[in-house]
Structure 1
C-alpha cells in the first residue's frame, strides 16, 4: 500500500467510515493506467485521459467557470485528480461541495498515486458514491472522462447526467419558429379543431390493468401471449406506440389504442385499413394525411412543448407527457385513464439479441445496430448495447414512474434495459 493511499485513506476513514470500507474493496488492478505527458502530465485510464495533459489547472478553471459563482452548494461528478475540487474550494461563498464518485476503482487508484488530502480534508466537502442517490443534484459539473469511465453501480446517474447535459442540444429541433414545424402545425389545425379531446379518455379505466406496448426486440417474445390474452373476454386494455402497430397486426394482435406524436410517422407505420374500432391518440406534429385516413376515433392532445403554445390557446386539449419518445405519452395516457397496474412490453431502450426493433429491419426506425456505441444494464445486470438517446428516454420514463407511486409498473422482459421503479412481471418476464 502506497504512502499516498495511507494518508488519503486515513482522511476518508475518519470522515466517511462507511464509504471508506467500500473503497478498500475496489479492485484498481483491473484498470489499465498510464502516465500521459504533454506540456504537463495526467493519468490515462483504459485509454481515457482523466484531465488535460497540458494544463490541468487551466482546465479546472474553465470547468469551474461553468458553475454559478454565488451558489453556496455545488456538485462535482467524478473525482478526477482533484483539480476541479481545489479550484471550487477557493470560493469564499461556497458552503458545501458534494463530490460524487462515478468509478470507485478509478478513485481508489488515484488515491494510491496522488495526494488528495487538501480537498478531502476540507470541512465543506461531502463525498458520495453517485449511485447511492436515485437522482442528480444541481448545479453540477460532470467530468467528461468519468462519464465515459463510469462503472455499473453508478451507470444510472451517469445516464441522467448526460441527458441533462445534452438537453439544450436535443431540444434544438423543436424550435417553434422552425419553418417545417410551423407548416406541419398549420396543416393539422383543421383536424385538431374538430377531433375529440384526449381528456375525454381520462378516468375511463379506473383501477384497471393496462398493457403498454413498445417496439423493442423483446416484444417478439410475447406475440403469442398477447394474442391469447387479446382473445379473452376480460382482459387488460392494449395501448401501443405507433411503430408497434404493424408488428402487432402481423401477429394477430389488435390494439385498442394507438399513440402517435412524431412527424416522421407515415402510412407505412400506421396503415388505415381496418382501423374503425381502434382509437388513435395523437399530437398535431403527426402527418395530417395519416390522421385523416384513420377510420377510428381520433383524440388530439398536446405536450408541454412550446411548439404547441399557440394551438393550445386556440383549441384547448388535454396534455400528455413527452420525454423524447412516444413511450412516454403512451404510459401517461394509461395513468390518466386510471390504470392501477401497467405492464410494459418491448420497452427495451437497448438492442437485445443484436436487434434494434421488433418487426422492422435494422435501420428502418433509426440508426443501425452498428451505430450503438453506448450501454445500459439489462434485467440480468449485464451490459447491453444501446444508443445515447435511448438512455435519455429511459431516464425520463424512470422519473415519470417515480412520480406515480400509486400505479404498479411491471416489465415483461429482462432482455432489455433495467427500468428503475418497475418489477419483473411474475408470469411474463423470463
Structure 2
C-alpha cells in the first residue's frame, strides 16, 4: 500500500513524498478517522460556502473520505489541501491504499506540515479569482476552529503582500529585466557576497539611512566609523560624503535610472559598492573595480542563467535598500546592527538628512502631502508617515525577527519606533565600541585586492552558450505562437458544429502551449516581463481546465490563452534586444 501511494506522491507531490518515504511504520500514531457514511450535513454547509468559487482550500486530509466526497460533489473545482498533522497522514499512507484519490486530477495540491503552508498560499494566490472557498474537515471545525481562523488570517495577509508585490514587479518589469540580463557578465568578474561570507565576523555594523535624524548624528557616525562597519544604504552616501565620511560599503538595489543622480559624483561612487542584480546597471559599470555582486531571491532570470539554487546566498527582496544592507551586514558576519537615520517617517516635516538631494522639490512636496498616517517615535511622541514608510518598517521588523541571533539597536533619535530594535543613542553606541579594535578604512578594498579574480573559462562558456541558446529559442517561439494562434482562431466555430474535432484541436493546442511554457527559461523571463498578465492567466487556468462545456471552454481558450500568446509575442523583440546586448557584454570580458 505504501509503495503504491509513494509512487503517486513522488510523481505529483514530491515535497510530500520526501516527508513520507522515511516514515517508520512501526511508530504508534493515531489516524484522524472519519465516518464511513457520507457526511451530508457537512457537505450541505460546504455547498453554501463554495458557491461559484473555482478554488477550494481544505484544512485537513483525514482518511481522504471527505476529500473524495468533495471531488465527487464539485467535479469542476480544484482542491488545495493543508494537512497539519504529519504523523496522521504518514500513518494513513502506510496503512491504506489512497493512490486513486491522490491521482485525481482535481486534487491539485497537498501541503503537509507547517513548513509547506507558504507554498500552498503562493499557489492559492496564483490561481484564485475573486473568491476562495475556505473550509475545514468536520473534526477540525469542531476541535480547532480558532486555528482555522488564524490560518485564514495568515493567508489574507499573505495575499495582500502577494498582490502588492505583483504590482511592484509590473511597475518595474522592464528595468528589472534589463538589469538582470545586463549584470550577468559581472558575475564572472566580480566577487559575490557569498565569497565574503563571515569575513568580518563579530563586528558591529551601522546601517546608515537618509532620514532627518542622520543630520543630528553625523559627527557621531564619524567617530563610530573607527570601530564599526559603516554601511550606507543607497542615497545616504550623499550625506556621508558631504560631511567628509567615506563609508566602508555602499549598498544599492533600486533599478530605476533616478539612482544615477545619487552616484553622479566621483565621491559617492568612491566607497566599495555592493550592487544587487536588480540595481541600475550603469552605476556598477561606472564603478569599474572595488565592488561586490549579489543576486535577489526574486530574480529568477539570473538564477536560471547562472545556475543558482535556493542553497546559494540570495538577497530577500524588501521595499527598502536598508533591508538589503541589513542582510549584507549579517552575511559579512556582523553580530550587532545599529540603525542610523532610519526615521521611517517625516519628523519636523523633513524628508531627508542634509546633503541628500536626488529628488526634485516638487516631488518632496507631493510626498509630504501623502504623509497622513502617524507612527510613534522613539521619544514618545508621534511622527507623520505614509503607507510606503509603514511597509518599509514592517519589512525591517520582519528581518529582525528572521535574524534573531543578531542584536539590533535603533539610534535614529527622531525616528519611528522599530519593533525588535530598542532605541539607544549613538553616543552610547560609541561609548560601548570605544574599546573595540580599530577597523582599517579600506578593509573591503584590501580584501578584494587580496583575492584577485581569474575568470573561470568553463563558467564563461556556460553563460555565453546559455544566452545564445535562449536567443535562438526566442526566434523559434515566434513561429510556434503563430501556429497556435491559427488553431485558436478556428475552435470557437468548431465547438458548435464539430465538438469532437474541437476537443481534439484543444488537446493539440494545450500540447503545443505546453512545449512553449515548459521551456526552462520561459517562466523566469516572462514572469519578469509580464507578471500581471501571467498572474491573470494563472487565475483563469482552473476555469479553463475543469470546464466541461466545449463551447464555453473554446471561448475561454480564445480569450485567455490567445491573450497571453499576444502578450508574449509583443515582448519578443524587446527580449531579443536585451539578450543580444547581454551577449555582447559577456563577449567583452577579457582574459578568457
Q: TM-score range by the shorter chain?
A: 0.5 to 0.7
The offset of 1:312, in angstroms, is: 3.8
CA deviations on 1:84-137 (whole Å, 9 max, x unpaired) are: xxxxxx97746678xxxxxxxxxxxxxxxxxxxxxxxx997659xxxxxxxx94
| 8 Å CA contact 1:376, 1:385 repeated in 2 | yes
Check 1:357–1:426 CA distance in 2 against 1; reply closer, same or farther (3 A cut).
closer
**Quick one: distance in 2 between partners of 1:202 and 1:65?**
48
CA deviations on 1:360-401 (whole Å, 9 max, x unpaired) are: 465657951111232332224444222212212211211211
Work out which of the residue numbers 66, 70, 85 in structure 1 matches 2:58: 70
Instruction: Tell me the TM-score normalized by structure 2.
Output: 0.45
Residue of structure 2 in register with 1:196 after alignment: 191
The offset of 1:333, in angstroms, is: 0.8
**Quick one: distance in 1 between partners of 2:364 and 2:50?**
39
Check 1:192–1:379 CA distance in 2 against 1; reply closer, same or farther (3 A cut).
same
Work out which of the residue numbers 274, 277, 291 in structure 2 matches 1:281: 274
Q: Which runs of no fewer than 5 residues in structure 2 stay unpaired?
A: 1-47, 61-81, 83-133, 430-592
Residue of structure 1 in register with 2:302 after alignment: 308
**Quick one: distance in 1 between partners of 2:51 and 2:204?**
48
Residue of structure 1 in register with 2:408 after alignment: 409
**Quick one: distance in 2 between partners of 1:389 and 1:353?**
18
Q: What SS class does the counterpart of residue 194 from structure 2 fall into?
A: helix
| 8 Å CA contact 2:340, 2:410 repeated in 1 | yes
The structure richer in strand per residue is 1
**Quick one: distance in 2 between partners of 1:408 and 1:399?**
14
**Quick one: distance in 2 between partners of 1:163 and 1:292?**
37
**Quick one: distance in 2 between partners of 1:94 and 1:369?**
52
The structure richer in helix per residue is 2
CA deviations on 1:213-246 (whole Å, 9 max, x unpaired) are: 111221121112112333xxx4111001111111
Work out which of the residue numbers 260, 273, 277 in structure 1 matches 2:252: 260
**Quick one: distance in 2 between partners of 1:421 and 1:189?**
36
Q: Which runs of no fewer than 5 residues in structure 1 stay unpaired?
A: 1-59, 74-89, 98-121, 128-135, 143-160
Q: What SS class does the counterpart of residue 139 from structure 1 fall into?
A: helix
| 8 Å CA contact 1:211, 1:342 repeated in 2 | yes
Q: What SS class does the counterpart of residue 211 from structure 1 fall into?
A: strand
**Quick one: distance in 2 between partners of 1:63 and 1:324?**
37
Residue of structure 2 in register with 1:5 after alignment: none
* Bigger CA radius of gyration: 2
Residue of structure 2 in register with 1:27 after alignment: none
Q: Where does 1:21-420 land on structure 2 (aligned, <5 Å)? A: 70-71=58-59, 93=137, 137-140=150-153, 165-174=160-169, 178-230=173-225, 234-264=226-256, 265-271=258-264, 273-274=266-267, 278-294=271-287, 296-305=289-298, 306-313=300-307, 318-358=313-353, 359-360=356-357, 368-420=367-419
CA deviations on 1:387-416 (whole Å, 9 max, x unpaired) are: 212212211211211122221111002422
Residue of structure 2 in register with 1:102 after alignment: none
Instruction: Tell me the TM-score normalized by structure 1.
Output: 0.60
**Quick one: distance in 1 between partners of 2:348 and 2:428?**
16
Residue of structure 2 in register with 1:421 after alignment: 420
Q: What SS class does the counterpart of residue 138 from structure 1 fall into?
A: helix
| 8 Å CA contact 1:215, 1:347 repeated in 2 | yes
The offset of 1:292, in angstroms, is: 1.5
The offset of 1:428, in angstroms, is: 3.9
Query: Over aligned residue pairs, what C-alpha RMSD do you find?
Result: 4.0
**Quick one: distance in 1 between partners of 2:323 and 2:313?**
15
Q: What SS class does the counterpart of residue 273 from structure 2 fall into?
A: strand
Q: Which of 200-209 and 262-271 deviates more?
A: 262-271
**Quick one: distance in 2 between partners of 1:172 and 1:333?**
26
